[in-house]
């Protein structure tokens, strides 16, 4: 049966474009409780060095505004699964497995934005001469509380780890929105379904969850290895483990991701497969990476977000945690001659850690 209503046509187009879930919420009602939680988060300084999270505060309260789209009536929220099966991931190069799943392949933003623009174009054709429909696609490029809007639109519910969980799909998803002046029938929100489960909270390697649903990013491995521009606090380095860029632990253990991690994504998507460059790059390479090599490495990968210096710092910490004396020569080179203070310091820490472990092992032997 051909879709007839505007909403049915929009949902059908989103599905055709490869989105795994679609929901519609009212955009003409501001966020209340979610906005209050956001303000408390910023007032407590939990955003750390992510200054953009504290900017344009009032823009995050509502979509019907000059900040986003004046006259907005509806928000179309979509989710696209990026998670792959355990068998697929098992074949990833060793370095790729130290990178958060969303960042192992090509940068997703351009592809996702093109799809959202196509949805927005369709929406604009559904207005009338008297009431033309406006539409604004968004993908990480506007000050909106996208998880709150996704929950309002019934796309999924917010889990105890603070992420949107889409029933039947899980939380390993990318989110996007199209805000429009078109009036569409909203979907009902989905009640939270975590129950008594605390697996995501318990597994966090740096104990970054203040309480259920509240993450302190300043303690989170993802923040420390991606957004943080200073030295990683020493008490948190052991918790970094072998994670070079980001952390998926609170998603990996989530029961709602269990079934999707056994099921190949319909049609596949090469964009989310591990990039071949990770098979020819090592942690040692990253520790001593110069600007020309970084320029070649960064092209088209989300890992570039960490910066050359951030990746070198992270790689030094990971090598220190792994504790192999085979890495001492590279670390010593960085400790003596890297152009960034935080990398020299991290390399020195790693050298000391490896040497201490070697001495302890010798005593036990």
Active-site residues: which are they? 140
Contacts of 208 (CB under 8 A, 6+ apart): 215, 216, 217, 218, 219, 220, 221
Looking at the DSSP assignment, which residues form a beta bridge with residue 129? Answer: none
C-alpha dist (Å) from residue 310 to 93, 317, 340: 21, 11, 10
**Within 10 A of 253 (CB to CB), how many other CB atoms are there?**
17
Q: What is the DSSP string of 259-302?
A: TGGGSPPTT--GGGSPPGGGGS--HHHHHT--HHHHHHHHTT-G
**Within 10 A of 51 (CB to CB), how many other CB atoms are there?**
8
> Per the structure block, which two tokens stand in for 151?
């929950």
**Within 10 A of 211 (CB to CB), how many other CB atoms are there?**
9
Give the residue from 190, 224, 184, 3 showing the smallest Cα distance to 79: 190
Query: CA-CA distance, 182 to 71, in Å (whole number)?
Result: 9
């Amino acid at each position: 049966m051909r879709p007839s209503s505007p909403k049915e046509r929009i949902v059908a187009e989103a599905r055709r474009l490869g989105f795994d879930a679609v929901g519609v919420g009212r955009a003409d009602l501001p966020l209340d409780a979610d906005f209050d939680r956001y303000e408390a988060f910023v007032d407590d300084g939990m955003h750390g060095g992510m200054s953009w999270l504290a900017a344009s505060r009032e823009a995050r309260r509502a979509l019907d505004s000059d900040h986003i789209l004046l006259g907005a009536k509806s928000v179309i929220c979509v989710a696209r699964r990026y998670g792959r099966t355990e068998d697929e991931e098992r074949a990833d190069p060793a370095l790729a497995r130290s990178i958060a799943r969303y960042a192992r392949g090509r940068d997703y933003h351009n592809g996702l934005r093109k799809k959202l623009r196509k949805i927005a174009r369709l929406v604009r054709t559904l207005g009338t001469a008297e009431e033309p429909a406006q539409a604004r696609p968004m993908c990480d490029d506007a000050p909106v509380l996208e998880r709150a809007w996704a929950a309002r639109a019934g796309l999924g519910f917010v889990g105890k780890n603070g992420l949107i969980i889409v029933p039947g799909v899980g939380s390993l998803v990318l989110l996007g929105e199209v805000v429009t002046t078109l009036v569409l029938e909203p979907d009902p929100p989905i009640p939270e379904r975590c129950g008594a489960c605390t697996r995501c909270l318990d597994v966090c390697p740096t104990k970054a969850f203040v309480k259920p649903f509240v993450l302190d990013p300043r303690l989170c491995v993802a923040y420390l290895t991606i957004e943080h521009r200073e030295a990683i606090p020493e008490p948190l380095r052991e918790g970094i483990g072998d994670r070079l860029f980001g952390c998926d632990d609170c998603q990996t253990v989530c029961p709602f991701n269990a079934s999707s991690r056994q099921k190949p994504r319909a049609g596949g998507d090469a964009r989310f497969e591990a990039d071949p460059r990770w098979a020819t790059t090592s942690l040692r390479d990253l520790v001593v990476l110069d600007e020309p090599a970084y320029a070649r490495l960064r092209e088209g990968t989300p890992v570039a977000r960490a910066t050359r210096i951030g990746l070198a710092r992270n790689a030094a910490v990971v090598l220190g945690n792994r504790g192999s004396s085979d890495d001492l020569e590279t670390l010593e080179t960085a400790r003596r001659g890297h152009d960034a203070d935080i990398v020299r310091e991290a390399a020195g820490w790693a050298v000391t850690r490896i040497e201490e472990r070697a001495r302890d092992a010798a005593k036990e032997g």
